[in-house]
Amino acid sequence: MKKAYWISCYRAVHDPAALAAYAKLAGPAIEGGGGRFLVRGMPTRVFESGVADRTVVIEFDSVEKALATHASPAYQEALVALGNGVERDLRIVEAAA
């Protein structure tokens, strides 16, 4: 079974309080689903067409576990708390090997 990576790039933060409320709920929901935070922060440097967005990378043991975590009631509660507080690009990618 290949690992999966949940990658979020935050384009804009419109409501820091909503983001804080989301983080308080999302972290435990993600870790409860088996996610392991690998990266949280701003890029040290960007190249080519890169944008200096806050980036979060979370590792899961499989795509199925990542998708189940995203669909879980606990994570959905976090999304409600977030509302329209941010603009972000969130994707789940299966590892190459």
Q: What is the pLDDT of residues 47-80, one digit of tens each?
A: 998 889 999 999 999 999 999 999 999 999 999 9
Give the C-alpha distances (Å, rounded to integers) separating 87 from 52, 60, 93: 14, 23, 20
Q: Report residue 46: phi and psi, to 5°.
A: -120, 150
Q: What is the pLDDT of residues 6-18, one digit of tens each?
A: 999 999 999 999 9
Q: What is the CATH number of domain 4-94?
A: 3.30.70.100
CA 7-12-6 angle, 5° bins:
10
Domain ranges of the chain: 4-94
